[in-house]
Chain A
Amino acid sequence: MQEMTQQIRESAKRLLEQGQVDCVLGYRKGTVPMQERPFFAYTPEDADQLVWTRFCVNNLANFLIGRQDRIAVVAQGCVSRNIVGLIQEKQLTREQVYVLGVHSPGMVDRGKVQEHFPNRVIHSVEEDGEELVVSGADFSERIKVRDVKRNNCYTCTHRNAVIHDELIGEQGKETGGGNMDKVAAPWEKLSPEERWERLEETFKDCIRCYACRDVCPLCYCNQCFVDENQPQWCGKTVEETDVLTFHLLRAFHCAGRCTDCGACESACPVGIKMRMLTSKLEKDIRELYDYSPGLDLESTPPLSVYRPEDPEPFASG
């Protein structure tokens, strides 16, 4: 990872010095353990702050929306897929963005690391190959990265960038090894009653901070439906109906577009696993339309286009 960081800095400096881009978007070392910060480098000096670690959990495609300048961006598989999505949806032009493609080794879920050290204060977490060295005031222990990756990284299907203008490091193994179709499976086996209970349980701690929405590169509406007040579609309370209306509608709006980057789950301050909703929608899209989002600049997302041969298993009679 250290080498990758060096290469990113070198490329960024070159691009900025030669004036090929106005800005390089990457990650900067965070001030707390396991949390890197999205960072815009405008000068070659800025570029020295860029890093690439297993704690780069934000989806940088989100920060490209609305940019008018020429911008280079560090993009692993999921981020590159969201860049493709944004270009398909005309939020970005291909010419405007310079993709520094990186291979993602799978990012760390800091909640899982904390769970290994219940109620102990973690002061630093350093990467060492396939292990993490977790230290506090009076302890220092090693844990295996493979035990604490984010759930979505286990079922990743595209770890390499799907488009790039320049490759940083080598391309690597393409998948996380898990089966994406199985994410939604536990709910599919349940009765409607039981599913509803699971839904209630999943979202009961939501504080409606909208971090899941604001961190998501799909959620770029000028005005989200929950912020509309004439008419007001959704109440402002933390009562179940209002909370679930928000999450269900948001999930539907993402159908056929979600790359399972996991930014929503990483951002949630109360640990809600909202992939239980999105994974089902994406599974349906794969099964009904044989489509996976963000892989091909020339294709059109299935829910944005009408084809006479579209399947209609939902239409009765």
Chain B
Amino acid sequence: MEYVGIEPGRLHFSWISSSEAGEFQNKATEVVEAVRALGPAKRLVKDIRPEEAEAG
């Protein structure tokens, strides 16, 4: 994904066992925070709203 220029950090992989609930929760929070910090996705996003609606 990074090779084609999709922002680094938008895609995360991790290996968590089904018994590691705490680890799963921490990871989920971490991913959400990291992606939120990047803001809305700019790549591969289709916006079909008419121009006047885009601003709003």
Binding site for B on A (CB under 8 A): 184, 187-188, 190, 192-199, 235, 239, 241-242, 244-245, 248, 277, 280, 312, 314-317
Number of interchain pairs (Cβ within 8 Å): 47
Residue-wise interface mask of B (1-40) relative to A, using a CB-CB cutoff of 8 A (1 in contact, 0 not): 0111111100011110000000000010000000000000
Contact, CB under 8 Å: A192 / B2: yes
By the criterion CB–CB under 8 Å, are A315 and B6 in contact? Answer: no
Q: A241-B45, A242-B46, A244-B44 are in contact. Are A317 and B4 (CB under 8 A)?
A: no
Shortest distance between the CB of B12 and any CB in chain A (Å): 6
Q: Cα distance A190–B3 when bound, in Å?
A: 9
CB-based contact A194/B5 at 8 Å: yes
Q: In the complex, what residue of chain B is closest to A237 when comparing beta carbons?
A: B46
> How far apart are B48's CB and chain A's nearest CB, in angstroms?
9
Asked if residues A193 and B5 are in contact (CB atoms below 8 Å), the reply is yes
A193 to B42, CA, bound (A): 11
Q: Is the CB of B46 within 8 A of A188?
A: no
State how many angstroms separate the Cβ of A231 from the closest Cβ of chain B: 15
Q: How far is the CA of A241 from the CA of B6 in the complex (A)?
A: 13
Q: How far apart are A286's CB and chain B's nearest CB, in angstroms?
A: 15
Also in contact, A195 and B27, with CB within 8 A (given A239-B46, A244-B44, A316-B13): no
CA A194 to CA B46, docked complex, whole Å = 20
A316 and B44 within 8 A (CB): no
B residues neighboring A (CB under 8 Å): 2-8, 12-15, 27, 43-46
The 6 closest A-B pairs by CB, nearest first: A196-B5, A195-B5, A241-B46, A192-B5, A315-B13, A199-B4
On whether the beta carbons of B14 and A192 are closer than 8 Å, the reply is: no
* Contact, CB under 8 Å: B4 / A196: yes
Q: Identify the closest chain B residue to A283 (Cβ).
A: B3
Cross-chain contact A317 with B6 (CB below 8 angstroms): no
Q: How many Å lie between the Cα of A127 and that of B29 in the bound state?
A: 64
> Are B44 and A277 neighbours in the complex by a CB distance under 8 Å?
no
Determine how close the nearest CB of chain B comes to the CB of A203; give it in whole angstroms: 10
Kindly list chain B residues whose C-beta atoms are within 8 Å of the C-beta of A316. Answer: 12-14
Say yes or no: A245 contacts B15, CB within 8 Å. no
A193: chain B residues at CB < 8 Å are 5
Evaluate whether A187 and B44 lie within 8 angstroms (CB atoms) in the complex, with A314-B13, A315-B14, A317-B27 already known: no
Query: Is the CB–CB distance between A277 and B4 below 8 Å?
Result: yes
Is B7 within 8 A of A192, CB to CB? yes
Assess the A192–B6 pair: CB atoms within 8 A.
Answer: yes
The residue from B3, B15, B43 contacting A315, defined by CB atoms under 8 A apart: B15
B7 and A235 form a contact (CB under 8 A): no
Which of B3, B8, B14 is within 8 Å of A187, CB to CB?
B3
A192 touches B8 (CB 8 A): yes
24 contacts between A and B (CB under 8 A): A187-B3, A192-B5, A192-B6, A192-B7, A192-B8, A194-B5, A195-B3, A195-B5, A196-B6, A196-B43, A198-B5, A239-B46, A241-B45, A241-B46, A245-B44, A248-B4, A248-B44, A277-B4, A280-B3, A312-B13, A314-B13, A316-B13, A316-B14, A317-B27
